[in-house]
Amino acid sequence: MHAKRLQPRLVALIGAAAILSACSSKPNRKEASPARVTGVTVETVHLQNASDVYEAVGTVRSVTSSVLGAQIPGTVQEIRVKPGDRVRRGQLLALLDDRGPRAQLAAAQAGVDEARFGVAEIDQALQAATAERKLAEVTYQRYRELLARNSVTRQEFDGAEARYRSALAAEAALEAKKKGAGARGQQARSQHDSAETEYSYSRIVSPIDGVVTAKAVDAGTLVMPGTAILTVEDTSQYRLEATVPQEMLPNVHPGEAIAVWTEGGQFNGTVAEIVPAADPGSRTFLVKVALPLGCACQSGEYGKAAFPMGGKKALAVPRSAVVERGELEGVYVVNQEGEAEYRLVTIGKRMGERVEILSGLSEGERVATSRLDQLSDGARVELR
């Protein structure tokens, strides 16, 4: 009897549990609705005309850079400047031991003086010989007339003629001696000029207005011809020396205006020179781009130049439409249903305020250009 009374209760409990289980399997709340963003502006992507450029990297250098080296052997006595000092053209920068060149210059000067005195002495003797020759000539002419009238003897005429011939010879000899002395004087002056040049090599002067950028030796150093001592650069004008591949070179032309970027900013440059010889290792050509006067540049700094390579068609979007997520870049595409979708893209070249899209977008798609911080995947978009 006891078991019979428990059976209806057990059936009732099982039925209640089934009902509760069925009720718990039903959803008890509604799914969250997608976010809605209003006032969004979009831009339809189209192919646009874009100039293709090749960005060549290079190094900024001074147009005029002078490495001042020793031209004679000697010991550096004094260096009067240091790197960073501004110098003027003709300013004395360093001194070498000049005792030897100074002695040679003094000897050459003595030779010039001796030759000058010798020429003066011969010139005086020549003047006297010329006067004697003129007197002998007049006497000879007079005796010849007297001889024609039988007023002098033949012997007297011969004596006058002999004196005239002797005076002519003496004058000619002194003229020849004067020419020889003049040649020796010229030789002495040449030796003096050579000695003076040799002496000038002991004085290192700046050939340009500029800045000292390097000091290779110190006072007391023994230098030989060719040893670098100082480097001076003209800071008024710089150029970018960039390398361009051989296949790109036909699009580069002297005098062409191009954009240049350095650590000092962006400048308008001009192609000044194309070195007509390729580097055998890289098969690239060196192109020298003149930078504007007074640009904020320094020798040795990094730079790049954008060489136009002709026109092409490209997809482009505003730079402000690109959303970065860590290392990735993408844009929000608004589909026909008005939903936002974050699309990863590959960025190409910058074109002013726009960027080229290499992949990830198709022509005709709409890209969000505002309210980007409020957008997310699947958000409902209401256009402005």
Q: What is the pLDDT of residues 223-273, one digit of tens each?
A: 999 999 999 999 889 999 999 999 889 989 999 999 999 988 888 999 999
Q: Are residues 123 and 177 in the same domain?
A: yes
| pLDDT attached to residue 369 | 94
Q: Are residues 250 and 281 in the same domain?
A: yes
| Domain count along the chain | 4
Q: Are residues 83 and 210 in the same domain?
A: yes
| pLDDT attached to residue 52 | 73
Q: Are residues 249 and 211 in the same domain?
A: no
Q: Are residues 131 and 193 in the same domain?
A: yes
Q: Are residues 217 and 93 in the same domain?
A: yes
Does residue 151 sit within a domain? yes
- The residue range of the domain holding 217 is 72-97+202-233
Indicate the residue among 293, 311, 329 that finishes a domain.
311
CA contacts within 13 A on the Cβ side of 299:
18
Task: Read off the CATH number of the domain in which 90 is found.
Answer: 2.40.50.100
- pLDDT tens digits, 281-311: 888 999 999 999 878 888 889 999 989 877 6
DSSP state of 339: B
Would you state the structure tokens that stand for residue 340, as one six-digit string? Answer: 């936002």
| pLDDT attached to residue 50 | 67
pLDDT of 362 strictly over 90: yes
Distance separating alpha carbons of residues 327 and 344, to the nearest angstrom: 11
Distance separating alpha carbons of residues 201 and 224, to the nearest angstrom: 12
pLDDT of 10 strictly over 50: no
- The whole-model pTM stands at 0.55
Q: Are residues 213 and 195 in the same domain?
A: no
Q: Are residues 277 and 324 in the same domain?
A: no
- pLDDT tens digits, 171-185: 999 999 989 888 888
Does residue 8 sit within a domain? no
Does residue 13 sit within a domain? no
pLDDT of 45 strictly over 70: yes
Q: Are residues 79 and 219 in the same domain?
A: yes
Q: Are residues 239 and 291 in the same domain?
A: yes
Q: Are strands 380-383 and 36-40 parallel, antiparallel or unpaired?
A: parallel
Does residue 150 sit within a domain? yes
pLDDT of 31 strictly over 90: no
Nearest by Cα to 291 from 273, 258, 268, 307: 268
